[in-house]
Amino acid sequence: MTNNEQKVHKLFEKIMLVESVHNHSGKLIEYAQTYAQAAIINEMTGNMLRVQVLYVLGNLGGWHGKEARETKAQLNRLVKKL
């Protein structure tokens, strides 16, 4: 596993700890967590991990705040390097 892939897995672990948002976007975060968990459990790397990052990012729209912005920005940078 490359350094960038390890960084993605660490960010996915962080996303797994986010509590569901209690609004219309709450389900999206749960979907993102499911995709993140699948990547971790299956030890995804390469193109499979890149696609999984895109799925996770697509479902993080309801997650707001400083930590959310930083995490999404890091994932956006890393997905270009996978």
| pLDDT tens profile 24-66 | 555 788 899 999 999 999 999 999 999 999 999 999 988 888 9
How many CB atoms within 10 Å of residue 3?
Answer: 8
Output b/e per residue, 8-40; b: 16+ Cβ within 10 A: bbebbeebeebeebeeebeebbeebbebbeebb
| pLDDT surpassing 80 at residue 69 | yes
| pLDDT surpassing 70 at residue 5 | yes
Residue 58 or 19, more confident? 58
Instruction: List all residues 6 or more positions away from 76 whose beta carbon is below 8 Å from its beta carbon.
Output: 57
Coil, strand or helix at 40 = helix
| pLDDT surpassing 80 at residue 21 | no
Q: Which two tokens stand for residue 5?
A: 């892939």
